[in-house]
């Protein structure tokens, strides 16, 4: 019965599943990146996230066929990278993944903004959307670095390309406006993108998240 209850709760809160998978991936990536097996696992996990996110879009005002249309070529390119080592496809797959995550984030924002209620699933969606935005900018950083090596520097091993985990850390730091950490954008394009991410994070927190918090407080006062 406990397992059945858990399944029913996750069906009512699919945003929690998406958020949980994203957070688990962020914790696992540092253990697997940098090796051939880890690269394969990284791409397989990326496919899993794409599938879960596409299913999540079905609950939002977003159009599933658009989400699936972006995700399918990404999945094909990731499979080709896994099967044939076609690393030259990385800029293309990263660019499309960024587009996919931004579209999914926009769909979830539409889902949260379509009424004046703050449900439990919408609160989970707020976290999932933040992570989707961070992942979207991370893939844009990967794209820029692939096209222009040396775009980012770090305190340790400044000459080496930055890993996905390092760029994801930079993305979260910028989106949350908590700083920049030890990963620094060096080129004009990278700095412009970093500035755009900081602006996006401020607008998201000031509008979407603040709105949900306001509705939650209002609901609590009405229930008293």
* SS3 state of residue 162: coil
Compute the Cα dihedral for 86, 90, 95, 96 and give only its sign.
positive
pLDDT of residue 125 exceeding 70, the answer is yes
Q: How far apart are CA 161 and CA 166, in angstroms?
A: 10
Which stretch of DSSP H or E encloses residue 180?
none
Backbone angles phi, psi at 120, to 5 degrees: -60, -40
Q: What is the pLDDT of residue 36?
A: 66
For all residues of the chain together, what is the average pLDDT?
84
In this structure, what token pair is assigned to residue 18? Answer: 């998406």
pLDDT over 60 at 28, yes or no? yes
> Where along the chain do its domains lie?
2-223
Contact 59, 68 (CB under 8 A): no
| pLDDT at position 22 over 70 | yes
What is the per-residue pLDDT across 33-90, written as a single tens digit (0 to 9) for each?
Answer: 777 677 778 778 888 888 888 888 887 888 889 999 999 999 999 888 888 878 889 8
Rounded Cα distance between 179 and 174, Å, is 6
pLDDT at 33: 77
- pLDDT, residue 8, reads 39
Q: Tell me: the pLDDT tens digits for 126-172?
A: 999 999 999 999 999 999 999 998 899 887 766 678 888 999 999 99
Handedness of CA 60, 97, 162, 18 (dihedral sign): positive
CA 91/CA 89 separation, integer angstroms: 6
pLDDT at position 6 is 38
In tens, the pLDDT along 84-124 reads 878 889 899 999 999 999 999 999 999 988 877 778 888 88
177 pLDDT higher than 90: no
């Amino acid at each position: 019965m406990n397992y059945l209850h858990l399944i029913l709760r996750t069906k009512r809160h699919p945003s929690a599943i998406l958020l949980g998978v994203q957070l688990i991936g962020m914790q696992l990536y540092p253990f697997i990146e940098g090796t051939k097996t880890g690269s394969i696992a990284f791409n397989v996990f990326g496919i899993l996230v794409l599938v879960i996110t596409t299913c999540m879009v079905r609950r939002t005002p977003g159009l599933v066929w658009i989400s699936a249309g972006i995700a399918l070529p990404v999945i094909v390119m990731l499979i080709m990278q896994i099967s044939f080592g076609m690393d030259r496809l990385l800029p293309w797959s990263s660019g499309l993944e960024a587009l996919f995550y931004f579209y999914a984030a926009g769909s979830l924002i539409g889902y949260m903004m379509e009424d004046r209620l703050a449900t439990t699933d919408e609160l989970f969606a707020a976290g999932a959307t933040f992570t989707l935005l961070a992942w979207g900018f991370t893939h844009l950083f990967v794209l820029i670095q692939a096209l222009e090596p040396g775009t980012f520097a770090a305190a340790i091993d400044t000459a080496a390309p930055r890993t996905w985990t390092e760029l994801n850390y930079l993305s979260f730091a910028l989106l949350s406006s908590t700083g920049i950490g030890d990963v620094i954008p060096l080129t004009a394009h990278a700095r412009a993108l970093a500035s755009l991410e900081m602006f996006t994070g401020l607008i998201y927190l000031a509008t979407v998240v603040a709105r949900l918090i306001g509705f939650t407080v209002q609901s609590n006062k009405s229930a008293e």
